[in-house]
Amino acid sequence: MGSEIDALRTAMKAAQPSGKGVYIEAGQHVLDIDRAFVKRSMQGGMTKESWIVEFKVVSSTNPTHEVGSTRSYVENPANQGWMERFKSFLSAAVGADPAGKLSAEDEITISDVTVALRYDEYRDERGWPENFLKGRRLHCEGMAGVSKSGGPVTNKKWTPAPAV
């Protein structure tokens, strides 16, 4: 068995992570936040930052989004418009309608949540648990689109969804 273990270890060391997730696609989705975090990594000597939210699918009109499965939403600050897209998500996550006028209180909450996701010290100062967005329910309308470079993207319209 030792040689099988060594072979498995060697194969895993040689494997390259795919960097591919199971993302939200077109359709009407009700999603519960499972985890939200900021991931920092090194790629080609450069620091890359990704803002990642993982969801459990509650319901979906897309048959590939099975109830109970995990779907991800990722924003990269290197991409134009990322902050506006992420703010729409965060607005819905804190119970505000991103399409409406946000109140001053909503703006402060969204700002605090953004900083707390990026800086653990800030979250700790607030007394918030590590995974403070877990369990929030959102509705996401995913619509097929095209990126500026011509590749496929899924545009997302976020709204709060009542917990059941």
pTM of the model as a whole: 0.83
d(CA 133, CA 157): 19
How is residue 78 annotated by DSSP? T
Query: How confident is the model over 108-156, as pLDDT tens digits?
Result: 999 999 999 999 999 999 999 999 999 999 999 999 999 888 889 999 9
Starting from the edge strand earliest in sequence, which strands make up the sheet with 70-75, in order? 70-75, 46-60, 27-43, 137-146, 152-160
Residues in the chain where the model's pLDDT stays below 50: 18-19
Q: What is the per-residue pLDDT for 40? A: 87
Boundaries of every domain in the chain = 20-160
Q: What is the per-residue pLDDT for 18? A: 45
For 144, the token pair is 């097929």
User: How many whole angstroms from its chain centre is CA 26?
Assistant: 16
